[in-house]
Chain A
């Protein structure tokens, strides 16, 4: 106990180690993997993210142009971000606020034209 006393006395006079969360929130670190976001306008619905995801939380529907992610199943590893060929996926550096009900992060984009139709247009 004797050897701990200097530490205890120091703690009395030094700054508090904890914060009064949620009133006082620390700035998030720039590289923190907090939330997966998709810039749906740039998405080409290639399905690479769905293929590479280790937790299989992403579903891409090429026909209807729906991109869906289950934030409760996502493990925030950002493997999909690394493999996205058009870099439309990114990680926001702030975490999502707690929620009471499960939901799906669904985005509706413009599906790519089928290859034949695209050729006809030309």
Chain B
């Protein structure tokens, strides 16, 4: 059959994100994919001109609706480094706890959506049921379910009481049991493997060459995680990146599954080593200079470039999100697969388009 172009997205029944791909199809086999982005561009970076650098914390939190806390952390970290502010030890650990809670909720959300993409509805609902406990923890400790607004320049806004810490640990035990109950379904099930093993291949060389980030990169056997840089309190915790060598959708989902359990472990470590003391330090003056700061988002490496010239308003705040880095690898993965596998492969990079377009 002759080549046909089939539009995929931005509105698609199984795709939660507004990404548009023009799929060049020949006999149900995808030959090529041409992406089109720009459906949810909001121009948040431009706001640095009219909002001062303290107010920008609340704005960068709204870049992403899933990993908001980590965006604010990256931004605050950059400003603090520019201004030479040393945040208290307790704040460093609190940032890890909230950041990892966000990672767990993002990964559980994704695992559910991934199961939904290959039509396993009961696993989807089960993962989201487990995730609800994490949302409750976030709401009770930080005042909101997703946009928790805990980071400020100079530390954190809220503290965790010993009762709350105990309650978090109890909740995590519940979450761990819930996730482990789904382990065999997600990793050993014949139906799941049939749809994911060997689908959406991205070799180690391709992943490096095309600049993949996060679980997409680690699923191709590259041991790279920004948490190895030791920002916040990661330098004081035992941390080893999760790596899989399968190079396919199955490997990427396994990385995320194992990372969920690893995050639970990291929170436990952080709580057991949580030092006392203040949670923030007063910040005076304005930032000056240029800085690049990187953190690990649930989807991969998040980079902030900040330029300031000693004024209340920043000159530039450039945000590079992991999905932006993962679009070229996605196009490489989509080539040569069957049309029916496209939603599964697109979801396997965990796209967050509102992050990418800001």
Contacts and interface: CB of A to CB of B under 8 A. Distances in A.
Interface of A: 1-4, 6-8, 11, 17, 29-33, 52-55, 75-79, 82, 91
A102 to B, nearest CB: 20
B142 interface: yes
20 contacts: A1-B189, A1-B190, A1-B191, A3-B188, A4-B120, A4-B185, A6-B181, A7-B182, A11-B126, A29-B136, A29-B140, A31-B141, A31-B142, A31-B143, A32-B140, A55-B58, A75-B62, A77-B147, A78-B149, A91-B143
Contacts of A75: 58, 62, 147
Nearest to A6: B181
A4 B55 contact: no
Nearest to A18: B129
A3 B192 CA distance: 11
B279 to A, nearest CB: 12
Interface in B127-181: 129, 132, 136, 139-144, 147, 149, 157-158, 181
Contacts of B182: 7
A17 B128 CA distance: 10
Contacts of A2: 189-190
Contacts, number: 66
Interface residues of B, number: 33
Q: Could you tell me the dominant secondary structure of chain A's interface residues?
A: loop
Interface in B49-63: 51, 54-59, 62
Interface of B: 51, 54-59, 62, 120, 122-123, 126, 129, 132, 136, 139-144, 147, 149, 157-158, 181-182, 184-185, 188-191
A7 B58 CA distance: 40
A4 B123 contact: yes
4 closest cross-chain pairs (CB), A and B: A54-B58, A3-B184, A54-B55, A33-B143
Nearest to B138: A29
Nearest to A4: B185
B189 A4 contact: yes
A7 B121 CA distance: 13
Nearest to B145: A32
A30 B139 CA distance: 9
A32 B185 contact: no
Contacts of B189: 1-4
Nearest to A30: B140
Contacts of A29: 136, 139-140, 143
